Amino acid sequence: MRSLDICLTPALLHLFPLEQKVVVVIDVLRATSTICVAIDNGAKKVMPIPSVDECRKYESDEHIIAAEKNGVKIEGFKYGNSPYDFMGEKIAGKTIFLTTTNGTKCIEASKNAHKVIAGSFLNLDATVEWLRQYDNDILLFCAGWKGHYNLEDTMLAGAIALALEDETNQMSDAVLHAKILYRLARPDLVRSIKHSSHYNRLASFGLKKDIEYCMTPNQNPVIPILDVNGLVNLEG
């Protein structure tokens, strides 16, 4: 039986060999949620970019460039890291170059894995069903905040682990912790994070609407999967 484990922060990733693993990168608030929205709205692909300066280089009529740092859109960019930025016909067929504080860096750090997808509450059930297709070991990689642990990413990891607990070996305390956390939070996901650091950070910028959207399961049932061209729709 294959294993399932959770990397609770990027600072711990060196403890997890990635070769032959299926990695689910999780940045609920908001990068992987935003990527799911963009792909669901017809984006051709999403390219995770490591820096703001590099992201600016890709500006063109065929591309959308988007940048966020410390929770806010970067000055000079039309698009940031809000899922609402990536809804509607304007996204269809576009290549999106995206740089964020946490999530895009974690996608880049995972590129040597067997397969890498973007996971969020928005595509929770689709992610679980996709993971059931593989015999490879699974790593749920929480983006956290600047290398530190955060609540909402661990909650989603717990939701995925709980759904797969009868099909995988789940031996680590990180998995146990995440499942307990999700069970407690499940009745009201938004309320469960209202005292968390990232909720309060984003709320202070007037982004409660983003939070509520990103914490509502199964609104964008796509699988953004990483290939040599960036994150694309698995069905595309």
- The average confidence (pLDDT) of the chain is 96
pLDDT (0 to 100) of residue 62:
84
At 143, the amino acid letter reads A
* pLDDT > 90 in the chain, percent: 96
At 100, the amino acid letter reads T
Token pair 């642990």 in the structure block, residue = 149
Q: Which residues contact 155 (CB under 8 A, 6 or more apart)?
A: 28, 178, 181, 182, 185, 189, 192, 193
pLDDT (0 to 100) of residue 236:
55
Q: State both tokens at 77.
A: 């960019």
* Model confidence, pTM: 0.97
Q: How far is CA 163 from CA 102, 141, 167, in A?
A: 26, 16, 9
pLDDT (0 to 100) of residue 61:
83
Is the bond into 132 cis (omega within 30 degrees of 0)?
no
Correct CATH for 4-225 of 3.90.1560.10, 3.40.50.720, 3.30.420.40, 3.40.50.970: 3.90.1560.10
Q: State both tokens at 95.
A: 């290549």
Instruction: Please tell me the distance from the alpha carbon of residue 157 to that of residue 182, in angstroms, as a whole number.
Output: 8
| Local structure of 209: helix, strand or coil | helix
CA 71 from centre of chain: 15
- The strand pair at 95-99 and 4-7 is best described as unpaired
Instruction: Please tell me the distance from the alpha carbon of residue 166 to that of residue 154, in angstroms, as a whole number.
Output: 19
Is 35's pLDDT higher than 60? yes
| Band (228; pLDDT cuts 50, 70, 90) | confident
pLDDT, one tens digit per residue, over 85-141 is 999 999 999 999 999 999 999 999 999 999 999 999 999 999 999 999 989 999 999
Query: In the chain, what are the domain boundaries?
Result: 4-225
